[in-house]
A and B are shown apart, each in its own frame.
Chain A
Amino acid sequence: MLSFGWYFYYGLTLSKVNPVLFVNRLDFTRNILMLTNLQGMLLKYFWLRVSFDVIYCLLPILLAFAVLKEKYYTKWVVVVTILYNMCYGIFMASFTYISLDLYIAWFYVPFVFYPNTAKGYYFSFHSIRIVFLLIFFTAGIWKIRTGAIFNTDQMSGILLLQHKQYLAGNPSNWFSQLVYFLVQHSYYSYVLYLLGTIAELAFIIGFFTKKYDKWLMVAFLLFFIADYFLMRINYSNWMVFAGLLYFSQLKKEKYEI
């Protein structure tokens, strides 16, 4: 709800954006979904955009209610939430600048609540935890594969691209001074990038042991904070992933294993 509130406040919901065009991507799921022409209907009908937002906001509440009250229809709510969040994310990413990556948390996490036994919950929880670890670990691998990690100007170039519109305005406040300092002193900014990559690669540890999950969670939270304050990217949708690392060390006995 908090995350949705941020997007709503800044007019980044379907009903507030009121889009007139969309940008497609080389994504099989997106293109198959577009066979329904939902994108055309969303462009056309305001009531449909409002309905999409309302349902997107209400489904997690319904899911929480169903899980806490152990309702017989919980599985159905989970499946609907997963599919619906996928559609919502795909269309939001088509109509706005928000990356589809930011919506994956609300796609994956409901899977955790699909089973109706303690044992099943244990396995689904850890399956999603593995997927999350994989996402972060491959982000680190990509930086090696593209050679980005070997470019000492990398973070300076990223900061320049990310804040060009801001820096061109030539403000003299602390934030612009900070960005300017980091761009000018490539080695400092490169250290940030290097540490970020090392943290991403460190997520491989999670495949073998849960012992260091709290540390991985700290790395994840630092990533979230740095992205918000330095890169000005809001990853609040991903905060729910932190729970996968926080609760991962509950004893197996609790799940009757």
Chain B
Amino acid sequence: MDKIIIAEDLSLSYNNQEMIISKATLSINSGDFVIITGASGSGKSTLLKSFYGALKPLSGELIVGGVDLHNITTKKKNFLRRHIGIVFQDYKLIKEWTIEKNVMLPMIINGFAKDICQEQAVRLFGHVNLTNQMGKYPLELSGGEQQRVAMARALAHNPILILADEPTGNLDDYSSKLIWDLLEGSNTQLDATVVVVTHNIPSTIGVKYRHFEIEHGDVHEIS
């Protein structure tokens, strides 16, 4: 099975100061559904950031989608990110764009034709149950609705890897279930590798997942 993420003795820190992740070794196969848990401030989000090149490894090896993130050029980083779908805890929607355009963003970046972008956006808005709100701006929606838009955006360009950072934190049950369903669906139906950072794993999760835990900078697999 192809490995989509390989980390060997990976150490991460901000500005070379306190070590957040220390000599972590893990590998994630294509098609895996991975959940990373840990206490607040344990470095879950930091580890995820390193996967999409927002944080350069301090030492060790980190290869994502065949791209070595230690010595990565901007061009290669952009290339990698075009194949990743990211869901952020704070949504990161562009406020001055409609939510339809927000969802179309990864497709625009990947050079999809306009009509295909629109068709895909309509389909995804159906999945997140926001079809009748497509002309609205992010700030006109609730937090749960904004996260559903962010989820739709992460899936828009059919990425090979989906990274989700606390995608259901502070969301109502309805939005949380919808997002977990979509993540599971992307994994089972579209064969995407999914890595979710969360502090609570839902009891209803219906997919076989691998579970990593971060403790004191150490990453270890539980199941």
Partners in one complex: no
